[in-house]
Structure 1
Amino acid sequence: MNLKFIDMKKKVLMLTLIAGTLLVSSCASKKELLNCQTENKELSSNYQDSKEQLAATKARVASLEDQLAQQKRDYASLQGSLDKSLTNANSNNINISKLVDQINESNRYIRHLVEVKSKSDSLNLVLTNNLTRSLSKDEMKEVDVQVLKGVVYISLADNMLYKSGSYEINDRAAETLSKIAKIIMDYKDYDVLIEGNTDNVAVNTMAPSMKNIRNNWDLSALRASSVVQYLQDHYGVDPKRLTAGGRGEFNPIATNDTEIGKQRNRRTQIIITPKLDQFMDLIDKAPEEK
């Protein structure tokens, strides 16, 4: 009996212990469950925040990648512009260099022209002075002296050289032609053209002095020929240097509608042409007076 009772007590005690253990265990599990649930909520919240942060980070990275790609494109464009600018700059430098050379060449040519003009002006002044130094004031009124590009033009009125209505040299012409002859003799290598000119009035073929003269062509040529022969015969000018020519009424310097204009057109022109290699000599040294 006692043994049975003891066994019974043992069994009860065991059941009690088991029940207590289960109870304690059950209490512990609920607490842990609550803790786990709380931790799970926190983890879920943290996970959600992390996902959102990751999504934001990915969006930021994508934006940065787009910006980087744009920066690369901008850099490539700037590099291309720089290369093009450098190429254009090199080309511009070449063009500027050529332009500078052209400007320098133009400046040299301008200086050359200024020097030539200065020498030409000096030459013209020398020749003009040589031609006019021995002419009187009265003679200068009827003698037109011009020097153009080294060529001397001496224009004499017809009444200084010829008898009225004639091609014969008058007494008055001797003094003037002697001075012109001296100039011609000073420059022995110059060619001399004597050119006759008339107005447009028809020749009076009935006048005794105009015998065998058909028109103004004949009159102008014969007047020029008279001066040529006078220079040759009276002053010893080499005839090889002389040329006589007539231009009639067709080279007027004034209108033939007035008497003054006609007087100006009735002229004999003496054209003295120096050789080119003698131009510069005249600037430095005038011929000696004789």
Structure 2
Amino acid sequence: MKKVVLGLSVLALALTSCGTKQKLADLEAKNKETQDLLNTCTIKLNSALAERNAFSKEIDHLKKNNSDLLSNMGNMTMLSSKGAENLEKTLESMKEKDLKITRLQDAITKKDSVTLALVRSVKKEVGFDDPDISVNVEKGVVYISIADKLLFKTAGYEVSADAKRVLAKVAAIAKSKPDFEVMVEGHTDNVSIKNAMMRDNWDLSVKRAVSIVQVLQNDFQLNPGQLVASGRGEYVPLVENDTPENKARNRRTRILLLPKIDQFYDMIEKEMKNMTK
């Protein structure tokens, strides 16, 4: 009977790990897709700005022609009707192009401003002065990286009491952003582990991520629909695992605050289509 229970537990853990890996892969793919879209959007924006500059030069040229005409004719009423018509069409085209550029810039700025506001909120709320905690932004995603010595005992996955003060602040921020996802990502060094509780480093990294997710849900009532637990094992190190100090740096947990980018993606995509009309 014990063997059956143990087998079912291992199977459940494997399925959970596969699910979190797939969720992580989906989120990374979506983030890359949006980043590619933003890059394309920036190219189109620069092209539109160059086109606007060309319009400005054309307007200056038309104004000069009309000014020369006025000087030659000596009378405002003799303004070339063709020149005036061309000037009016150019001004109207430039106005329409400016409107499209403004909308596109607003879409990009909105996404950037949401990320910037979140970074400020995290730093203000958490007030990280601890060298074992860092906050940074990569490709529009806010990362909170916490050294494992602050969260767990060696080779363990039970969250320490001291760690909960940090997690309480993270939970408060996440609660204020109900449309954000909170992904907890476990990382280990390359020292292999295998015992009665742990099969390998993959297992340890996933168990640590799940432990933190459970604290956020059970102790701080964070909406479980916002939470994602994932393990990266030893395979995404910050530095080479060639010294005890570097191994300590690689043993960490990252908490990713992910805006649901569909709203920005749809808005930017819409404005990009308008740019081509």
TM range (shorter): 0.5 to 0.7
Mapping for residues 1-290 of structure 1, pairs under 5 Å? 107=46, 109=48, 115=105, 121-139=112-130, 141-203=131-193, 205=195, 211-276=196-261
Larger Rg: 1
Distance 1:136 1:146 in 2: 13
Quote the offset at 1:175 in angstroms.
0.4
CA contact (8 A) 1:185 1:237 kept: yes
CA shift digits 1:38-72 (9 cap, x unpaired): xxxxxxxxxxxxxxxxxxxxxxxxxxxxxxxxxxx
Query: Structure 1 residues 147 and 168 mapped into 2: Cα distance closer, same or farther (>3 Å)?
Result: same
Q: Greater relative contact order (Cα 8 A, min sep 6): structure 1 or 2?
A: 2
Quote the offset at 1:130 in angstroms.
0.5
CA contact (8 A) 1:150 1:279 kept: no
What letter is aligned with 1:214?
R
CA shift digits 1:166-214 (9 cap, x unpaired): 1000111010000000011110121121111100011152xxxxx3201
Distance 1:193 1:106 in 2: 32
Quote the offset at 1:241 in angstroms.
1.7
What letter is aligned with 2:220?
Y
Q: Which runs of 5+ in 1 are unaligned?
A: 1-104, 206-210, 281-290
Query: Structure 1 residues 154 and 236 mapped into 2: Cα distance closer, same or farther (>3 Å)?
Result: same
CA contact (8 A) 1:124 1:149 kept: no
What letter is aligned with 1:159?
K
Percent identity over the alignment? 42
Quote the offset at 1:153 in angstroms.
1.4
Quote the offset at 1:267 in angstroms.
0.8
Which 4+ runs in 1 deviate beyond 2 A? 105-125, 134-139, 147-150, 276-280
CA contact (8 A) 1:144 1:156 kept: yes
- After superposing the two structures, state which structure 1 stretch, 269-278 or 194-203, moved more: 269-278
Quote the offset at 1:277 in angstroms.
6.3
Distance 1:272 1:122 in 2: 15
TM-score, normalised via structure 1 length: 0.53
CA contact (8 A) 1:124 1:148 kept: no
Quote the offset at 1:148 in angstroms.
2.9
SS of corresponding position for 2:126: coil
What letter is aligned with 1:155?
S
Quote the offset at 1:137 in angstroms.
4.6
CA contact (8 A) 1:195 1:247 kept: yes
Query: Structure 1 residues 277 and 109 mapped into 2: Cα distance closer, same or farther (>3 Å)?
Result: farther
Distance 2:172 2:264 in 1: 19
Quote the offset at 1:135 in angstroms.
2.5
Distance 1:248 1:156 in 2: 15
What letter is aligned with 1:263?
A
